[in-house]
Structure 1
């Protein structure tokens, strides 16, 4: 695969005129994203030499990024552009740290520029556009094609329901004591649990305020996680250990973000055939969770705000999004990137699966109020209790409902 890093910072610095520039400070999470983030900035600067971009040191994750930017705001010196976890956008809005993009969008038809309504919804709060999606991903099903075939399945026609998927995993698990049928990662927050709810056609909270875990379908979605262990062969190991088993050819089905595709391609190589498939559904109208970065403008300075808006449009445009996809495995947020990625997707079909789920993707849900991180941990702890056979799915759902209700705004 070609490497898309043709411009160097030194070459750009030499090319820039020694004139007054609009300086933008940008802050994002995930240090391993720094290289391609810098490449997008370099390309933008090459096309806009009157703008300079200075990156703050990346935050280790989305939650730490939010905490840091809140502190910077309290000190009166926030970054001009912030790449927030899209589920945390509501926190910024609640603190009046970010304003709607109405003044920037104006009469621009964002649909005509390649942004679908579904994608734009990823960075909206109550229907108002506060940012643009910088990256986006959905969970996918990674599969070992050879184990699927040995278990009697068809890698080219994998099941699309959880019932059939669990049955296939059980057959894979029966292939030998050193083989595990499936592993559904609980994740580092509640995103993968949101995905189970989405497969049941549910958001974590309904429009009438009902918590999903307090509904029959929500409890059924949580019970899926219990069934993966009881019927599908999943054991209570760490996500890292599960990935090592997948790399070694000892795990049949693995469920995680499409962002892992690049690592899988590198680690597995050509040792065995593998692929990705869309997430199974619990109900016919079942969806899939989405996640990623929401690029928002924090500055109120008109000149910086205009430059930041140009930067957001550039970074979410076709060419930049193609670069993001090729370097990460994320799905593009701009339909124009699909044409740019045509040959790449043909050579690397595992990367395309997430983009094929966009039409049924749920926005990454942000819990109301200022206790979102705490609620996310409540969910994660209860799911761990299920995995470790410390609670039944029914007990966990009831416990989550009670604890979450106490953390929501009254």
Structure 2
């Protein structure tokens, strides 16, 4: 009997050793800790239960999408890339062009009915380059308006139907707030990564920020209108200059009435806001409803340098799981991003009924346009040039919008790849 017991113990030990040897470890990087930590806290127990032999190690989170891209570019040179990285939708191209991102086509080809597994073709297109899929959308966002309805009531707005539909209406509301003694009624998300809100103003007029040939397209009337719209809002609303990190704090504290930002932050604001009724509503337009809006968010990309088939398969398994119907549902529930996977729609039907603030972006889904990346090696530098120009409007340094437009057109044109 004793021998049998020892034999059983040895067998169990050998079995455990075999399982440990079969375990595959992958490394993953993602941005915006404040947004996505809670998402992965919910996703990972489900993933670990289904795939106990895959260990996922998360690297330090990227501050934003620019930081994420810069980090991966440095890691590519140093030979320290993770296996999977989440990159801004507008930052995928540079990783494809430099051969850092790996095509997902070999993995997709082995999946039965991959297209029917829930992936919207339009969403797959966001990560498709030269006919090959390199990124699966993990989280997709659109700009929306956030409103403190206690403060809105001070100027007579008590119903969602009364919320502003144009930026002129927003500016008029600011005058009413000032008369009511509220000096800082607005924050408008000019500082969001990738000049996203400038692109929103351009797409609202039906115009991309760059032409199809890669040249500047904000040099005409649409561009000037975009700059003048920002100037009007910042001046007439007495808007303060806040960083992206700071931007949501005064709104959550109940100090700002109208906050224009990505739908991605709905979950975070709901978790931290004061005791006031929050309503989100469609993004206002320039004189009319927007004709389009840039798709924000990020995609999961395979950047592993490993040649180990087991590790690559594990990375693909993780990447596919987090962008599946289950993963997409968790993203929507914890953040406010739209699910890029239509398999999540059935899972979220009741959720949106009970969480209307997170449904606003879904109502705008038909407006989705490309979040355009600036091509070439100077893409990140162009983002900074435009950022600095818009910040000058906020601070009062830039007051002549025609002059600013001309300066930015010249600087950006010099940085774009030469034909």
TM above 0.5, yes or no, is yes
SS in 2 for 1:331: coil
2:285 maps to: 281
Matches within 5 A, 1:50-199: 50-106=53-109, 109-125=113-129, 128-153=132-157, 155-157=159-161, 158-176=163-181, 178-189=182-193, 190-199=195-204
1:319 maps to: 326
Q: Is the 8 A contact 1:101 1:130 kept in 2?
A: yes
The one of 399, 404, 407 aligned to 2:412 = 404
Q: Kindly tell me: are residues 111 and 162 of structure 1, through their superposed partners in 2, closer, same or farther at Cα, counting changes over 3 Å?
A: farther
Q: Kindly tell me: are residues 141 and 284 of structure 1, through their superposed partners in 2, closer, same or farther at Cα, counting changes over 3 Å?
A: closer
SS in 1 for 2:224: helix
Q: Kindly tell me: are residues 145 and 285 of structure 1, through their superposed partners in 2, closer, same or farther at Cα, counting changes over 3 Å?
A: closer
Q: Is the 8 A contact 2:187 2:240 kept in 1?
A: no
Q: Kindly tell me: are residues 393 and 115 of structure 1, through their superposed partners in 2, closer, same or farther at Cα, counting changes over 3 Å?
A: farther
The one of 401, 404, 410 aligned to 1:393 = 401
Q: Is the 8 A contact 2:280 2:360 kept in 1?
A: yes
Q: Kindly tell me: are residues 193 and 68 of structure 1, through their superposed partners in 2, closer, same or farther at Cα, counting changes over 3 Å?
A: same
2:3 maps to: none
Displacement of 1:126 in angstroms is 5.3
Task: Find out whether 1:328 has 2:335 as its counterpart.
Answer: yes
Q: Is the 8 A contact 2:141 2:338 kept in 1?
A: yes
Q: Kindly tell me: are residues 168 and 121 of structure 1, through their superposed partners in 2, closer, same or farther at Cα, counting changes over 3 Å?
A: farther
Displacement of 1:297 in angstroms is 0.9
User: Is 195-204 or 167-176 further displaced after alignment?
Assistant: 167-176
Q: Kindly tell me: are residues 208 and 77 of structure 1, through their superposed partners in 2, closer, same or farther at Cα, counting changes over 3 Å?
A: closer
Q: Is the 8 A contact 1:276 1:350 kept in 2?
A: yes
SS in 1 for 2:352: helix
Q: Is the 8 A contact 1:27 1:57 kept in 2?
A: yes
Please give the per-residue CA displacement for 1:59-109, whole angstroms capped at 9, x wherever unaligned.
333323323322322233422111122221111112111233222222755
Q: Kindly tell me: are residues 277 and 339 of structure 1, through their superposed partners in 2, closer, same or farther at Cα, counting changes over 3 Å?
A: same
Q: Kindly tell me: are residues 397 and 323 of structure 1, through their superposed partners in 2, closer, same or farther at Cα, counting changes over 3 Å?
A: same
Displacement of 1:111 in angstroms is 4.6
1:7 maps to: none
SS in 2 for 1:365: coil
SS in 1 for 2:260: strand
TM-score normalised by the chain length of structure 1: 0.86
2:9 maps to: none
1:49 maps to: 52
1:338 maps to: 345
Please give the per-residue CA displacement for 1:288-331, whole angstroms capped at 9, x wherever unaligned.
22222211112363443333222222101122222222222222
User: Is 374-383 or 277-286 further displaced after alignment?
Assistant: 277-286
Displacement of 1:37 in angstroms is 2.4
Q: Kindly tell me: are residues 249 and 23 of structure 1, through their superposed partners in 2, closer, same or farther at Cα, counting changes over 3 Å?
A: closer
Give distance in 2, aligned partners of 1:77 and 1:153. 54
Structure 1: segments with no counterpart, 5+ residues: 1-13
Greater radius of gyration (CA): 2
Give distance in 2, aligned partners of 1:134 and 1:397. 34
Task: Find out whether 1:358 has 2:365 as its counterpart.
Answer: yes
TM-score normalised by the chain length of structure 2: 0.85
Structure 2: segments with no counterpart, 5+ residues: 1-15
Q: Kindly tell me: are residues 267 and 73 of structure 1, through their superposed partners in 2, closer, same or farther at Cα, counting changes over 3 Å?
A: closer
The alignment yields a C-alpha RMSD, in angstroms, of: 2.6
Matches within 5 A, 1:233-244: 233-239=237-243, 243-244=248-249
1:4 maps to: none
SS in 2 for 1:165: helix
Please give the per-residue CA displacement for 1:23-58, whole angstroms capped at 9, x wherever unaligned.
322222233434532542442232123333222232
Return the structure number with greater helix share: 2
Q: Kindly tell me: are residues 46 and 326 of structure 1, through their superposed partners in 2, closer, same or farther at Cα, counting changes over 3 Å?
A: same
Q: Is the 8 A contact 2:215 2:413 kept in 1?
A: no
Q: Kindly tell me: are residues 224 and 309 of structure 1, through their superposed partners in 2, closer, same or farther at Cα, counting changes over 3 Å?
A: same
Displacement of 1:154 in angstroms is 5.1
